């Protein structure tokens, strides 16, 4: 067995020790660098974004059907109906545009020879019982059953014949819109063979939200009660 020389042993020891020292130095350098970086990350970490809750008085408005053009109305408001109507000047008219004012509403047909003229006379009487200020705030609406004959021109002629002022709105609509409104009011009607209509005689008072507050049934009496109900909506 050969004996290693002192030079050989020294060289071998140096070669083994060098990588170990390099690793130690690398670890030391890494430790020196990692400290500040870790501290920097900790102190510069962005604070979590916190969205403040809105106060109770600012609660979000109820979500509405995006397909609907109807505003938020009460459950009993007739203005939820989005029927299609046209007034006697030929302009498109939405019932919801009546919101904010009390309304006296009646369904009729212009060629009626008995019941409808009497009812319109009663509505004129109710209008006459109101003060000037009350009259200026009240709208009277006539909606025709006769979707065929009550054209825009026919309604305009009826307005002129009965002397109805600007507080009166005369409407015609398509068949679905008219029937929907009649159902909401509780009005029944049926066209006869001669083109006339058998129908309910019902005067309806609506408050500013389009809710039914009073109905006068029949052709006689009840004007004082209807006027009182209307005046109650004007307070």
pLDDT at position 119, please?
Answer: 97
Residue 26 lies in a domain: yes
Q: Domain with 180 in it: what CATH number? A: 3.40.30.10
83 and 20 share one domain: no
Domain around 224: 78-233
Domain membership flag for residue 61: no
73 assigned to some structural domain: no
What's the rounded Cα separation, in Å, for the pair 178 and 46?
Answer: 63
Same domain, 127 and 32: no
Q: What is the C-alpha to C-alpha distance for residues 154 and 69, in angstroms, rounded to an integer?
A: 30
Given a cut of 90, whether residue 227 has pLDDT beyond it is yes
Give burial (CB, 10 Å; 0-12/13-18/19+) of 106.
buried
Same domain, 132 and 214: yes
For residues 115 and 161, membership in a common domain is answered with: yes
Answer yes or no: is pLDDT of 30 > 90: no
Please name the residues in contact with 36: beta carbons below 8 A apart, sequence gap of 6 or more.
Answer: none
Point out the least confidently predicted range of 29-43, 157-171, 203-217.
29-43
Q: Do 94 and 204 belong to one domain?
A: yes
Q: List, in order, residues 6 or more apart from 158 with CB less than 8 Å away.
A: 88, 110, 164, 170
Looking at the fold, whether 111 and 224 belong to one and the same domain comes out as: yes
Give the number of domains in the chain.
2
CB 119 within 8 A of CB 108: yes
Question: pLDDT digits over 107-146, tens only?
Answer: 999 999 999 999 999 999 999 999 999 999 999 999 999 9
Residue 71 lies in a domain: no
- Assess whether 130 and 15 both reside in one domain: no
- Does 2 fall in a domain? no
The pLDDT score that the predictor gives to residue 57 is 34
pLDDT of amino acid 9: 40
pLDDT digits (tens, 9 = 90+) for 147-195: 999 999 999 999 999 999 999 999 999 999 999 999 999 999 999 999 9
Long-range contacts of the stretch 65-73 (C-beta < 8 A, 24+) = 70/96, 71/96, 71/99, 73/99, 73/209, 73/210
Burial annotation 77-103 (CB, 10 A radius, 16+ → b, else e): bbbbbebebbbbeeeebebbebbebbb
> Containing H/E element for 215?
strand 212-217
Closest among 76, 134, 138 to 105, alpha carbons compared: 138
* CA dist., res. 210 & res. 121, Å (int): 23
Q: Are residues 109 and 221 in the same domain?
A: yes
pLDDT, residue 158, reads 98
Instruction: With H, G, I as helix, E, B as strand and everything else as coil, classify residue 159.
Output: helix
In this structure, the answer to whether residues 37 and 87 fall within a common structural domain is no
166 in the same domain as 83: yes
pLDDT of residue 71: 65
**Within a domain: 68:** no
Residues 115, 194, single domain; the answer is yes
Averaged over 23-41, what is the pLDDT? 42
Mean of pLDDT values over 75-104: 95
Residue 55 lies in a domain: no
Question: Closest Cα to residue 81, out of 181, 206, 187?
Answer: 181
The verdict on residue 52 lying in a domain is no
- Same domain, residue pair 19 and 112: no
């Amino acid at each position: 067995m050969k004996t290693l020389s002192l030079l050989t042993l020294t060289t071998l020891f140096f070669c083994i020790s060098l990588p170990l020292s390099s690793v130690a130095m690398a670890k030391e350098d890494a430790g020196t660098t990692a400290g500040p970086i870790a501290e920097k990350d900790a102190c510069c970490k962005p604070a979590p974004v916190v969205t403040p809750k809105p106060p109770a008085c600012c609660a979000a408005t109820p979500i509405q059907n995006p397909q609907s053009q109807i505003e938020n109305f009460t459950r009993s408001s007739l203005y939820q109906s989005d029927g299609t109507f046209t007034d006697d000047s030929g302009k498109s008219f939405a019932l919801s545009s009546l919101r904010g004012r009390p309304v006296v509403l009646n369904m009729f047909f212009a060629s009626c020879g008995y019941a409808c003229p009497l009812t319109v006379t009663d509505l004129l009487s109710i209008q006459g019982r109101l003060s000037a200020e009350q009259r200026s705030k009240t709208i009277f609406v006539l909606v025709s059953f006769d979707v065929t004959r009550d054209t825009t021109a026919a309604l305009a002629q009826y307005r002129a014949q009965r002397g109805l002022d600007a507080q009166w709105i005369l409407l015609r609509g398509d068949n679905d819109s008219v029937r929907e409104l009649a159902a909401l009011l509780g009005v029944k009607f049926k066209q006869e063979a001669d083109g006339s209509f058998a129908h309910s005689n019902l005067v309806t008072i609506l408050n500013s939200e389009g809710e039914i507050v009073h109905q006068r049934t029949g052709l006689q009496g009840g004007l004082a009660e209807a006027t009182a109900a209307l005046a109650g909506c004007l307070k």
